[in-house]
Structure 1
Amino acid sequence: MLSEVFLVSPTMELRNEYLLFYQEWVESGEDMVPWVISKDPSDFKAMVQSLVDSSTGEGLPEGWVPDTTFWLVTNNNKIVGAVNIRHKLTQKLLNCGGHIGYGIRPSERRKGCATKLLASSLEKAKELGINKVLVVCDESNLASERTILKNGGVADARYVEEDGNVIKRFWIDV
């Protein structure tokens, strides 16, 4: 388990570390979670600026809400995870997105990073004025469900997507 990890705002100084993080996700063939890490980092400065703009609501597509992204880093600046915090919920986010989407790079899983990432994210959500946080996961994602429960998640009604995928929904008071 990693002893020291903390959240940082996206920054140009972590470009090389981020590109390694991104490349590991690409090579894994897994879905990139949270969705913001699927943004093309080839123009890194523009990608970081888009993340900054999203937190203020600048330039968002129609129907999108402001969101803030943080990277989970170690003491030596290795990026081990990312989180995207939506400032408010649309109907779609209420059903199957939640306030917080997070992911840990494949090589760093099963070390307690996700639990620390979500705990730190809940503190950030509170700073953003969100006092009751919705966190969701696919029914098949038992590791994420355990992480949410460890952080105080209380189960709510499930949501079934059009393709039949079942979303488990949990509320956490912060």
Structure 2
Amino acid sequence: MTTALIRPTADLYDSWAAAVNEFDGVHIDGSGLQAPVVPGRVTLDALIRDAAVLADTTVAPPEDRVHNDLYWIVDDREVVGFLSFRHTLNDWLREAGGHIGYAVRPSRRRQGYASAALALALDRAREIGLERVFITCDDDNVASARTIERAGGVLQDISDQTERGHSLLRRYWIAL
């Protein structure tokens, strides 16, 4: 397994579409896509444009957004998941979203991809000078909680975000 984070690219369209399809149209954490998610060339082209805008730190991000590096988690040119690294936190991210969001496609879970991708995202956080990152997962997502804790995550609290469409959230800080 050689896990890497790459920017969205049309070169991996078929693999991206297959990965997105495994989520059956629901929201995919870290993907930069809004539910219902239907893969297609137009969707990917828009995602690539949006990713470029959000990653460009020379211009202010659109209102209610923050600078954000959108990545695909890949293994040998197969898209196995998605990761979003936000450079700063706005009000919503400070409560529920965090600096890092990720998802691994169902057929590739429990193979170490989330841990490897999170480690790479923490390297990116160090590159831009962050001293710690905030990360959340649903309280019932035991696998994600373990991944975060293995990466050094310290539980801040369990927050009730049901009014924002979430379940109970485990909220962690990882010191860098």
Structure 1 length normalisation: TM-score? 0.87
Separation in 2 of the partners of 1:127 and 1:165? Answer: 32
Q: Which residue of 1 aligns with 2:63?
A: 62
What amino acid is the match of 1:11?
T
Separation in 1 of the partners of 2:55 and 2:13? Answer: 19
Deviates most, 43-52 or 66-75: 43-52
Q: Which residue of 1 aligns with 2:85?
A: 85
Alignment partner for residue 36 of structure 1, among 28, 32, 35?
32
- The answer on whether the counterparts of 2:73 and 2:80 sit within 8 Å (CA) in structure 1 is yes
Q: Which residue of 2 aligns with 1:25?
A: 23
Deviation at 1:20, TM superposition (A): 1.5
Q: Which residue of 2 aligns with 1:51?
A: 51
Q: Which residue of 1 aligns with 2:143?
A: 143
Alignment of 1:125-144 (within 5 A): 125-144=125-144
1:12 is the counterpart of 2:14: no
- The answer on whether the counterparts of 1:37 and 1:82 sit within 8 Å (CA) in structure 2 is no
Separation in 2 of the partners of 1:162 and 1:66? Answer: 26
Change beyond 3 A, Cα 1:47–1:30: closer
- The answer on whether the counterparts of 1:104 and 1:114 sit within 8 Å (CA) in structure 2 is yes
What amino acid is the match of 1:159?
S
- Figure out how many residues of one structure are paired with residues of the other and give that number: 169
**Aligned Cα RMSD in Å?**
2.1
Alignment of 1:99-118 (within 5 A): 99-118=99-118
1:169 is the counterpart of 2:171: yes
What amino acid is the match of 1:71?
W
Separation in 2 of the partners of 1:127 and 1:168? Answer: 26
- Provide Cα deviations, 1:66-119, integer angstroms capped at 9, x if missing partner: 1111111112x0000110011101122111111000000010001111111111
Show structure 1 runs of 5+ residues with no match.
Answer: none
What amino acid is the match of 1:22?
V
What amino acid is the match of 2:128?
L
Separation in 1 of the partners of 2:170 and 2:107? Answer: 25
Separation in 2 of the partners of 1:153 and 1:24? Answer: 28
Deviation at 1:59, TM superposition (A): 8.1
Deviation at 1:124, TM superposition (A): 1.4
Show structure 2 runs of 5+ residues with no match.
Answer: none
Aligned residues with identical type, % of pairs: 31
Separation in 2 of the partners of 1:10 and 1:162? Answer: 31
What amino acid is the match of 1:36?
G
